[in-house]
Each structure stands twice: as C-alpha cells, then as structure tokens.
Amino acid sequence: MHQVETGFVIAAIVLLAILGRAVFVYCSPYRKCRWCRPGGLYFGSVPARIIGHKPRARRKRRCWRCRGTKTTRRLGAKTVHKVKLTVQQAWDERP
C-alpha cells in the first residue's frame, strides 16, 4: 500500500510542476533572443569561461530567429495559449 501512495505523491508533484511551468509560460511567453545578442549562446557564463569562449561582435544582419525584434517565444508558449483559448471557448459554449 505504501508504494501506491508514493506513486500518487510523485504523480501529484509532476503534475504540479507541469502546471506551474504552464502558468509561468502563459504569464511571460517572450524572452530575449539568445541567437542575436553579443556573445552568442554562452554570453559570458561560467561554462563559457571554462571552455575559453570569446564573445562575438554584434551581428550585422537580421537574426533568422527573432527577425530583429530581439525577443522570441519560450518553448511551449504557443501551445499554452492555444489550450487557454480552447478551454475558454468550450466554457462559453457549455449548455
């Protein structure tokens, strides 16, 4: 019986983490573009300093990812907004 309860607790924690991530992505769906900022992906982090990464100069052409806006959507932001709109529409159409 104890193993079943442990399974339920783990499932509840995982579902709570997924719900927390969905709320976070819904509230702040955009982030800075990591591809077009000076320094590239590492941008002077500790791992970059360890491997000897040198920051690159600013790119001259538009970024292919953000198209010059300097912001991109977080992973899952589009899906979270579609689910929210679907649930809202289903709620409005209930009898």
Choose among 88, 83, 71, 87: nearest CA to 28. 71
pLDDT of residue 88: 92
Q: Are 33 and 70 in contact (CB under 8 A)?
A: yes
**Token pair in block for residue 69:** 């806006």
Q: What is the pLDDT of residue 30?
A: 83
Looking at residue 13, what is its pLDDT? 96
Residue 69, pLDDT score: 79
Dump strand ranges (E) for the chain: 30-32, 71-73
pTM of this structure: 0.57
Residue with tokens 């995982």: 14
pLDDT averaged per 10 residues, the chain (length 95):
84 94 87 69 61 64 76 85 91 87
Q: What is the structure's pLDDT at 54?
A: 63
Token pair, residue 60, equals 């001259």
